[in-house]
A and B are shown apart, each in its own frame.
Chain A
Amino acid sequence: MKEFLEGSIAVARVVKLCKPGVISAYPITPQTHIVEELAQIVANGELNSQFINVESEHSAASVVLGGSAAGVRVYTATSSQGLFYMSEVIFNIAGMRLPVVLTCANRAVSAPINIWNDHQDSISLRDAGWIQFYVENHQELADYHLMAYRLAEDKSVMLPAMVCMDGYTLTHAIDVLDMPTQEQVDKFLPSYKTSYKLDVDNPITMGPLADPDYYMEARYAIQETHKEVIKLIPKVTAEFSRVFGRSYNGLIEEYQVTDADKVIVAMGSVCGTIKEVINELRKKGKKVGLLKIVSYRPFPVSEIYESLKNVPKVGIIDRSLSLGSFAPLVSEIKAVFFGKNKKPAVISSFIVGLGGRDITKDSIRDVFGLMTSKEKACEFIDLKPELLKEEYE
């Protein structure tokens, strides 16, 4: 059924349909609306779940770790500093192979303190072992939460999954989406059952010490599983399509790429703006396109290669930095083409929309304009030169 909902409310209602038995979270902007709505849903008796208010994000992540270790489906959400405060637990959850699902309402990180949107928080935790999806719009944020649970809990996966949605742009914006029904969700997402759990009838030890004789294999196993996830995602999106009637690639999305001579690569809600600019430029005869990365972890290397190998000019939009080096997405896309015969002649790097700086259609037109035969190593879009002159003694 079509509904007109705030992004956070849509997430909460979809999570409700997934029936997590333990929910735990700590307030942080711009995530808070999600768990407020879930708290109300539980308070109304519409969802049988243990909603545990904690004293920190570290404990929120630890509570869902404990709930998941006890064999129950769990949920948490956070942003920015909250995700960083969880980060120790985030790595731990993946290492313990617990299928926790977390929503990251993407927000810039301190300092300076800033509550607005960019991708620095979740990108900084890309190495933790979690599946990471970056969603573009309300329909995707609803649908990818369902797919996140389905993938994370798959017996061949057993890894946590993070759905990354842009703070404010998606969390606080109101839009139309087709809300899944309980019947559909039950059909797509079986109830969570595992024998790998804390069970007094079958006691196991979880989280043991692994010395140098055992540690590497545990890490290798996660790396190998991510390769399996790449193969599993198309199967899960196909199942999803059968139940819900909406089709996704799940790894990437190509928009007007086939004949394009300039393609922007981006993630998240900015892709909507980019598509609009592409439509306008196409009307003027410009051959421009977009490659949207949906699954950042696992990183769909061969899909990216196939999509971009014949594109002459590629521009990568990063909404985060690896200060002192190349931006995260551009370094990984360049790595895809290293040593390949077919590759873009130019791969330029653009930093856009940090700390909630508006990304307008002009910003995107600027990026296309700067995608010349001269490679841009790290071009900041929409900088204010007058602010760069400020000094202090």
Chain B
Amino acid sequence: MNNKQLFSSGHTACSGCGQAIAARLVIETAGPNTIIANNTGCLEVFTTKYPESAWGVPFVHSLFENCAAVASGIEGALKYLGKKDNINIIAQGGDGGTADIGLQALSGMLERGHDILYVCYDNEAYMNTGIQRSGLTPFSANTTTSPAGAKSLGNPQYKKPMPEIALAHGIPYVATCSVGYLQDLQRKVKKALSIKGPKYIQIYVPCPLGWRHEPNSTLEVGKLVVETGLYPLIEYENGKLISVRKIKALPVEDYLKGQGRFKHLMANSEEIKKIQEIANNNIAKYGLKAEEAVSA
């Protein structure tokens, strides 16, 4: 057991930051024999402000969109040196760096078959630049570039189906997690790292500042999104759905009401109905309801 801190406290994340919790768990699960390549974003900024670093493992940040390619080069170098077998490589970024500007580099990494775990910390908007919408911003969310107004109900698009896009590359492991379920997160990271080849894990990480909820409700928000069916926790191995987290199927209002980014919807039952439909579709698609059987 290595007692060295792999992710030290003292970094500059906001209080209640879901990404900080998830990132710490990811690296503590992966252990010291891990190299991280990180996209530009909150995580990189709040952990590596020179001359300090929160990281107790080798860590490289290059640009916003290229961690998957940088990690591919690291993997190539370790293979060349004959050291790859004992070392994990994790490429990680936020939702914008993953689903938008970094999608091409990620697709290349997945297609080439590198032995790398890609982790997307999904806080559903560009938080580092001040809460602009990304491809993973949910329907109707109020962000600074998809503001609610007299002629707008917030983000008009639906979340880009990143897990399915990753899955379509035929990679051996794809999973979603939430900071609401930390043991599930640890189990999936451990499982992913036990498999050779490219792996994709997407972690739901609330952002109290950007979503406008209380910092002490991060884990609760992380549970509600799952329990309503808006963020199914799913796990695919070799293209087969091997697990889903069963849920209570709470009404989506229970999730929406605690967050300022959905405040404009509260008096709009039509709009809430559309969001309930998203949840219902997920519940049906993955068999999320506790009494239903898993349908692959």
Contact = CB atoms under 8 A, between A and B. Distances in A.
Contacts of A21: 76-77, 80-81
Interface string B158-195: 00000000000000000000000000000000000000
A66 B37 contact: yes
Given A70-B78, A88-B63, A22 B73 contact: yes
Given A56-B104, A72-B81, A206 B61 contact: yes
A391 interface: no
Contact of B32 (A24, A55, A200, A209): A200
Contacts of B77: 21-22, 50, 66-68, 70-72, 74
Interface of B: 32-35, 37, 44-45, 48-51, 53, 55-63, 65-66, 68-81, 87, 104-105, 107-108, 111-112
A216 B75 CA distance: 32
Given A24-B76, A58-B66, 7 more contacts: A50-B77, A56-B104, A58-B105, A62-B73, A66-B70, A70-B73, A71-B81
Nearest to A197: B58
A62 B76 contact: no
B119 to A, nearest CB: 17
Nearest to A210: B50
Interface string A17-55: 000011010000000000000000000000011101111
Contacts of B75: 66
A63 B69 contact: yes
Contacts of B58: 197-200, 203-206
A66 B65 CA distance: 13
Contact of A63 (B49, B72, B80): B72
A29 to B, nearest CB: 21
A55 B108 contact: yes
Contacts of A56: 104-105, 108
Contacts of B112: 52-54
A96 interface: yes
Given A21-B76, A70-B78, A206 B66 contact: no
A193 B90 CA distance: 24
Interface centre among B53, B71, B104, B108 (most CB of A within 10 A): B108
Interface of A: 21-22, 24, 48-50, 52-56, 58-60, 62-72, 74, 88-89, 92, 96, 197-200, 203-211, 214
Contacts of B73: 22, 24, 52, 62-70, 74
A207 B60 contact: yes
Given A66-B69, A205-B59, A208-B61, A50 B80 contact: yes
10 contacts: A21-B80, A59-B69, A63-B70, A65-B62, A66-B70, A199-B58, A203-B58, A208-B48, A208-B53, A209-B48
Contacts of A54: 69, 72, 108, 112
A57 to B, nearest CB: 11
B63 A89 contact: yes
Nearest to A69: B60
Contacts of B111: 55
A349 B126 CA distance: 48
Contacts of B62: 62, 65-66, 89, 92, 96, 207
A197 to B, nearest CB: 8
Contacts of A49: 80
